[in-house]
Amino acid sequence: MLLPVSDIGSDRRQRRQTVIAVSLAAFFLAVIGAAVGIIVGSQGDDDPAASPDPVVTSGPAASETPSPTATATATRTVTPRPTRSYPPPALETCPQQTREQVGSDLTVVLAVRTSRSMAWICKDGRGTLYYQGWIRNTAFTAPSSNSTIFLTEVREQTDVYIAQNRTSNGTTMYYVSTSELRIEQGSTVQAREPVERYHRP
């Protein structure tokens, strides 16, 4: 059966409208579906339950593996040397430090004590004289130090013993008697200490 031309045109317009409507509906459904998928996906990322379970390791904690380029530094423990102790100095005997320096036994010829110092004139078995001086109330760990002095150039003159200390700065003289300990450098008197007590065999 043949339709009128007007009916054919109307039928085409209806089909075209239907196709457009269906296309628009499919487009909007696709957009809505994509939006819903994005929202659900973002909520899933924020949900702690969506995170994979952490790996739990039982047993002792594993130590970190050192880097292959790391170098181990060896430490050495240094044991401090103990400080040698000596008996307190006495006028009646030559100090042990002096005897060790000479390497033989010594006897006191004259020993004096002032308010600041102590000085000994000692003699070995061959008659050689030695001078040992010490500033009191300081460490006495060696015959010669910042507070002690050991001299081998010693002579007797009447009742005075004279010790000499020759250095690049000049010669210092130590005069020891029962009355005073006097120290001179050149023509300058550096110290003059009255004797408080002395020992002379």
Q: What is the pLDDT of residues 117-144, one digit of tens each?
A: 999 999 999 999 999 999 999 999 999 9
**Lowest-pLDDT choice from 8-17, 110-119, 134-143:** 8-17
Q: CA end-to-end span of the chain, whole Å?
A: 166
Residue 110 CA to residue 120 CA, distance in Å, equals 6
As a whole number, the mean pLDDT across the chain is: 79
- Contact status, residue 102 vs residue 123, Cβ threshold 8 Å: no
pLDDT digits (tens, 9 = 90+) for 37-60: 555 555 545 444 444 444 444 444
Query: Does the structure show a pLDDT above 80 at 108?
Result: yes
Residue type, 124: D
Residue 182: beta bridge partners?
175, 192
pLDDT at 144: 95
**Residue whose tokens read 């001078």:** 131
Give CA–CA dist 139/47, Å, rounded.
Answer: 76
Among 199, 183, 200, 194, which Cα is nearest to 114's? 194
pLDDT given at position 161: 98
More reliable by pLDDT, 115 or 54: 115
pLDDT > 60? residue 65: no
Residue 84: what pLDDT? Answer: 74
Q: Which residues of 139-169 are buried (b: 16+ CB within 10 A; e: fewer)?
A: ebeebeeebbbbbeebeeeeeebbbebeeee
The full set of domain ranges for the chain reads 5-49, 96-199
Mean pLDDT of 23-29: 68
Pick the residue with more confidence: 37 or 5? 37
AA letter at 194: P
Please report, for residues 6, 54, 61, 185, the alpha-carbon distance to residue 57 in angstroms, rounded to integers and kept in the order given.
82, 10, 8, 83
Rounded mean pLDDT, 60-86:
56
Q: Quick check: 181 pLDDT over 80?
A: yes
Report the alpha-carbon distance of residue 35 to residue 160 in Å, rounded.
Answer: 117
pLDDT at 87: 87
pLDDT of residue 195: 97
Q: Does residue 176 surpass a pLDDT of 60?
A: yes
Can you tell me the distance from the alpha carbon of 98 to that of 120, in angstroms, rounded to the nearest whole number? 10
Q: pLDDT at residue 182 above 70?
A: yes
- Alpha-carbon distance 160 to 151, whole Å? 16
Does 71 score more than 70 pLDDT? no
Cα–Cα distance measured from residue 8 to residue 63, given in angstroms and rounded to the nearest whole number: 86
Maximum mean pLDDT: which of 13-27, 37-51, 172-186: 172-186
